[in-house]
Copies of this chain bind each other. A is one copy, B any other.
Amino acid sequence: MIRVQTVDFNPADELEQLRSVNNGKAGAMVSFTGLVRDLNEGDNITQLTLEHYPGMTEKALAKIETQANAQWELTATLIIHRVGPLQPNDNIVLVVAASMHRKQAFAACEFMIDTLKTSAPFWKKESLQNSDRWLAPG
């Protein structure tokens, strides 16, 4: 399942939700949560704004999920990404992979967030005390 949204999400609730539908099938669930940092390259961040390409973003995320499910034996996957203005320590992204096998859950979760970072159309703009800057891929 994929979701792109401006509102916050609760990684805890999302994991509990996945667990409740899991019903004993998967033995391993790996999650990645990306959070807004308060400091980047030595500067205090006051706000982080996420821009995306509506339509293409959802397709890119769905493709990432499909690739992960083709490559590993997964019982569930989830990608949630926020857009719009965010504050330090806010959730940005949640990626979850559930599997019968722990190695596969780790590999799939890491693949999904790595691929998201290089291929899904999102852009980050940091607001500092007196200026803004667009981030370059890190």
Contacts and interface: CB of A to CB of B under 8 A. Distances in A.
**Copies of this chain, count:** 2
A39 B23 CA distance: 11
A106 B30 CA distance: 9
Overall SS of chain A's interface? mixed
Interface string A17-51: 00100111111111111111111000001000000
Nearest to A18: B33
* Chain A: interface size category: 35 or more
B89 A24 contact: yes
5 A-B pairs with the lowest CB-CB distances in the bound complex, closest first: A12-B12, A24-B38, A24-B88, A29-B33, A24-B89
B32 A102 contact: yes
Nearest to A103: B110
